[in-house]
Structure 1
Amino acid sequence: MTASLADLTDRMLQAAHRAGAESADAVAVDGTSVSIDVREGRLEQAERAEGVDIGLRVLIGRRQAIVSSSDARDATIQTMAERAVAMAREAPEDPHIGLAEAEQLARDTDSSRLQMHDPSPEPDPAMLEEDARRAEAAARGVAGVTQVQGATAGYGHRRVHIAATNGFSGGYARSDRAISCVAVSGEGTGMERDWDADSRIFQADLRSPEEIGRLAGERAAARQGPRRPRTGRYPVLFDERISSSLVGHLVAAANGAAIARGSSWLLGREGDRVLPAGISLTEEPHRPRASGSRLFDGEGLPTTERALVDDGVLTGWILDLATARKLGLQSTANAARGTSAPPSPSVTNLRLTQGEASREDLIAQMGTGLLVTSMIGSTINPNTGDYSRGAAGFWVENGEILHPVNECTIAGNLRDMLMSLVPANDARDHLSRIVPSLLVDGMTLAGD
C-alpha cells in the first residue's frame, strides 16, 4: 500500500547518513483533495489539490534539525540532508531528544483492520457538485430560510509513511468524504445563520445531502428573533455539537508539553479527581472507522487504549518521548508528527462516559438556564483554568426552551465546570471524539 512512500523515506534516511547524521527519522505524505462549492444553484468554486510532502529530522548527539520539502527528487533530498546536518551542528543541545530504542517499537503496523481507508473509487466532481446542490436545495426549502451561504461537498485521500534509523518503518492510508451546508434566516441586521455537516471515512456511511441541508435550514430558522439573556449565575447545557470543546480543554491541560513547561492548571493533580465519579475519558486509538485511529504513533511506538481519566480520577499525562524524558516518565505513545516539526504529544480518539438522560431530560432538569449551540472567541487561562467565551443558543425556563439567545458571554473555571458535568446520552459514535451534550451547573452569564 505504501511501497513508494517507504522507498522515499528510505532514500531520505540514506541521504542523512551520507551527510553525516548519527540518526534520523523521515516522514512522507502524499494525497489528493477535491472540494466543490455551490451557491444559488450554481457552481461557485471547484478545487483539486495533489502533492507530496517530505520531512527529515537528523540528530547529532543531543542536537537536532528538521527540514521539509514538496520536491522528492534525489538531488533535493540530498540537499535537504546536508542542510539539516549543518543546522543540527549549530543547534542548541537538548538532553531529552532522541529516537526510540528498538525494543520500544511497534511490531504490528498493518492498519487495514482499522478501516481508515475507503477502497471505493474516488467520486467524480459531478457527483460532489450534485451532493452540494441537493444540500443547498433542501436548506432553501425550509420555511424561514432566506438564503444559503454555501453548500460544499468534498473528498480527500492521503497516505503517510514514517521510517527511522532505529529500524522502524510503517505507513497507512486515510480517506474522508464530507458534505456541509450553512443556511441564513432573516434579513439585514436580523440575519442569523447555522449549519450542519457530516464527514465519514466510508462514503456509504455519509448522511444524505437532504438531511444535512434540512437540518442546517431548521437550525438557522430557529435562531430568528434572539434576545440577550439576563446576567447572573445559571446552569449551562453545552450542545453535543460543541461539548467536545470542554474535553479538549482538559486534554490540553494534561498534555505533557504543558506539564513540562509548568503552564497547566492540572499541574500536580495527577491522581486527583477532575471529573465526577462514574465518568471516565478513554483514549481509543484502535477504534475502526474513526479518523484519529492509528496502530503506532509518530515515533513508531505501539498505541494502546487507556483511560486518561478513570472514574473521575486523572491517571497521568499525554506524552511523547521527549516530554516523557523531561518528566522522568515513559512515553504514552502519543507522539504526533508532521513533515516540518518535531514530534509533539497529541491524543487520538476519545470517548467520554455517557449518561442515561436525553438532552431533553437535561433541559427539563436545568430549570432556568442556557442551552449553548455555538460559541465564538475564547479566553482560557492555561495556568488557572479561568474560562470565558462568547455564546449563542436558547434560553430555558421551567425546563422548556423559550427563545433564541445571542450576544452573551459564559464564564467560569474549568476545575469547577468539569467537576459538575452531567452528561446526556446523545453522543455520535462515529466521531473521533465521542462526547455527549454536557450540563454544567452555576456558570456566570453576562447579558443584559
Structure 2
Amino acid sequence: MTKEEKYTLADWAMNHALENGAQQVSVSIANSKSSSVEVREQKIDKLEQAIQSNLSIRLFVDGKYSTHSTSRLKEEDLAHFIEEAIEATRFLAEDEFRTLPDPELYYKGGGPELNLLDKNFEAVQPQQKIDLAMEAEKEALGKDDRIISVSSSYYDSMHERVMVTSNGFKGDTANSVFGINTDVSVKGGNARPEANWNESSINYSDLKKSGTGKIALEKALKKIGQQKIKSGTMSMIVENRQVGRIFGPLINALNGSQIQQKNSFLMDKMGKKVVSEKLTLTDDPFIVGGRGSRLFDGEGLATKKRLVFDKGILKNYYIDTYYGKKLEVEPTSGSTTNLVFETGSNNLDGLVASVKKGILVTGFNGGNSNGSTGDFSYGIDGFLIENGKIVQPVSEMNITGNMLTLWSNIGEIGNDVKENSSWRTPSIVFEGVDFSGL
C-alpha cells in the first residue's frame, strides 16, 4: 500500500467513525518489514521474516474513550469493525479529560529532513544478511580454546506510518534500522563469563560490518576470574552502554502519569535543583539521523528542542494531552526523543585513570528502583579500579542507594557518547556509591 493509499483509507475510516457516532477520531495506518538470521557453529540456527500492516483507531464517543486495532484493511471489513468498536465504547465510563490535542499544538509541516529511512532498504539481499552473520561469528569462533559458545545475528526492520485526526492533523513517518549482534560465553573456573557486542545504523551503507565477534570475545575473556570483593563505599564508573539502566528511573520519574498519580520522586520539583550541576540534558528531536528524531509525537504534537535538566535544575516533564488536562498544564509530549548529555573531556580510559579506587560497571544483573522514593538496588559486574588502573574483574556485587543522591554525586561525565541510541549516554563517574560483596 502506497503512502497515498494509506491516507485515503485513513480518511475513509475516520469519516466512517464520525458518521456512526464518534465525536472525535484519530486513525493511524502502519506497515513494517523485518528480517533476522541467527547463526551458530556456522549454520543457520534461526531465520525469520515478517511483513505486517495494521490500522489503529482512537475513538472519543459521548465523553468516553477507547482504542482499537486490526490487520484487516478492506473497507467492508473495517466498516463493521469500526461500528462495533463505537458501540463497545458506549459501555465505558465517561472521562472528561480524554480529548484530541489542541489543533494549535499539532505539527503543521515544513520541518527539516531527518533522514531516518534507508531508501534502499529492499536492496539488501538475503545472502548478504546471512554472510554478515556468518562473518561476525567467524571473528570469535575457534579463536580461543576457552570458548564455550558463540552466536551471531543480523537483523533489519523498516516501519512506515500515516496518521490523521478529525480536528486537522495529517502526518507520516518512516524509519529503518540494520544491525549485527554477537554473543560469546567462555570457561572461567566455576563461572561462565558472557559478553555481547552490537553495531547498528539507520542506513545499511553506514553499518559497521565487522568487529562484533572480536569485541564480544575480548570482553568475555576479560571477565575470567570474576569474584566478589570486600564491601565498601567507593567511586563507580558506569560504561556508556549500561548507563540506561540507572538513567531510566530518572526519566520515568518525569512522566506525566507518574506525576499526576503521585508516584514520582521528582513530583513538585519543577524549577528546583534536584541533581548534580554537572548534569545538563537536552531533548533534541531534530538531530539528522538521530534514533529518536521526529517532527511530531504519537498524538501529532509538534516536537520542540527542550532542556530537561539545566546544571541540575529540572526544566521539563513529559506530559501528553490527557495528563496535561488532569494537571492543568500545557502538554509537552508524553515521550522522549534524543536525550543529549553535555559531556566532559575524558573518554572511558580517561575516566578510569582518574579514579583512585572504584568499580567500572559493565553489566547489571537484576534489581529494581522504587518510582515513588527513588530507592534502588541492583546487581552489577565489572572491574575493580585501583590507582587509575583496572586490576581484576568482579561480579555478584550489589549497589544500593537513592536515585536523587546518586545523580547528585556525579564526579565526571565522559565524552564517549553512545550515538546509536535515542538515549545518547556517555560513561559517567558517580562518587560515594555503596557496594556490597564479601
Q: TM-score range by the shorter chain?
A: over 0.9
**d(CA) in 2 for partners of 1:118 and 1:295?**
18
Deviation at residue 66 of structure 1 after TM alignment: 1.3
Q: Could you report, residue by residue, the CA deviation over 1:288-337 in whole angstroms, capped at 9, with x for unpaired residues?
A: 112211101112121011101112210121111111111111011x2xxx
Q: For 2:262 and 2:84, how far apart are their aligned partners in 1?
A: 34
SS in 1 for 2:354: helix
**1:362 aligned to 2:363?**
no
**Which residue number in structure 1 is paired with residue 419 of structure 2?**
429
User: Matched residues in 1 for 2:109 and 2:143: separation?
Assistant: 50
Cα distance in structure 2, aligned partners of 1:204 and 1:330: 41
User: Alpha-carbon deviation of 1:245?
Assistant: 2.7
- Name the CA shift for 1:360/1:162 in 2 (closer, same or farther; >3 Å): same
Which position in structure 1 is the counterpart of 2:38? Answer: 37
Is the contact made by 2:278 and 2:413 (CA closer than 8 Å) also made in structure 1?
no
Instruction: Map 1:325-344; keep pairs closer than 5 Å.
Output: 325-332=325-332, 334=333
Q: Counterpart of 1:95 in 2: which secondary structure?
A: coil
Partner of 1:91: 92
Where 1:346 maps in the other structure, the secondary structure is coil
- Secondary structure of 1:27's partner? strand
Matched AA of 2:54: D
| Mapping of residues 307-318 of structure 1, within 5 Å | 307-318=307-318
SS at match of 1:152: strand
- Give distance in 2, aligned partners of 1:382 and 1:198: 32
Deviations along 1:219-265, one digit per CA (max 9) or x if unpaired, are 01111111112112121110111113332221100111100110000
Alpha-carbon shift at residue 419 of structure 1 (Å): 0.9
Aligned twin of 1:383: 372
Alignment CA distance shift 1:183-1:145 (3 Å): farther
Kept after mapping to 2: 8 A contact 1:15/1:77: no
Task: Describe the SS at the equivalent of 1:217.
Answer: helix
Partner of 1:208: 209
Counterparts of residues 290-329 of structure 1 (less than 5 Å): 290-329=290-329
- What TM-score results when the alignment is normalised by the length of structure 1? 0.93
Query: How many angstroms apart in 1 are the aligned matches of 2:321 and 2:110?
Result: 19
Q: 1:189 to 1:21 in 2, by over 3 A?
A: same
1:125 is matched with: 126
1:263 equivalent in structure 2: 263
Show structure 1 runs of 4+ deviating over 6 A: none
Once structures 1 and 2 are overlaid, which stretch shifts more, 181-190 or 373-382?
181-190
Match of 2:338 in 1: 349
Give the secondary structure class of the aligned counterpart of 1:215. Answer: helix
Distance change >3 Å, CA 234–CA 383, structure 1 → 2: same
Residue identity opposite 2:78 in structure 1? I
Query: 1:67 — aligned with what?
Result: 68
**1:400 corresponds to which residue?**
389
Contact 2:200 2:420 in 1 (8 A): no
Could you state the TM-score of these two structures normalised by the residue count of structure 2? 0.95
Q: Does 1:222 align with 2:222?
A: yes
Counterpart contact for 2:136–2:152, Cα < 8 Å: yes
- Does residue 1:183 correspond to 2:184, yes or no? yes
Aligned position for 1:12: 13
Displacement of 1:184: 1.2
CA deviations on 1:387-414 (whole Å, 9 max, x unpaired) are: 1111111111222111111111111110
Match of 1:158 in 2: 159
Deviation per CA, 1:160-207, whole angstroms, max 9, x where unpaired? Answer: 111110111111111110100001111684321101001110111111
* Unpaired stretches in structure 1, ≥5 consecutive residues: 335-344
Q: What is the aligned counterpart of 1:438 among 428, 431, 434?
A: 428
Equivalent residues of 2:54, 2:72 under 8 A apart: yes
Query: How many residues get paired?
Result: 435
CA RMSD of aligned residues (A): 1.6
The letter of the residue matching 1:419 is: S
Distance 1:354 1:275 in 2: 16
* 1:103–1:378 distance in 2 versus 1, CA, 3 Å: same
Q: Distance in 2 between matches of 1:389 and 1:262?
A: 24
Secondary structure at 1:190 match in 2: coil
Per-residue displacement from partner, 1:349-375 (whole Å, max 9, x unpaired)?
111111112222222322111110010
- Give % identity: 27
Aligned partners of 1:110 and 1:427: how far apart in 2? Answer: 26
Which blocks of at least 5 consecutive residues in structure 2 are unaligned? none
User: Aligned to 2:140, what secondary structure does the other structure show?
Assistant: helix
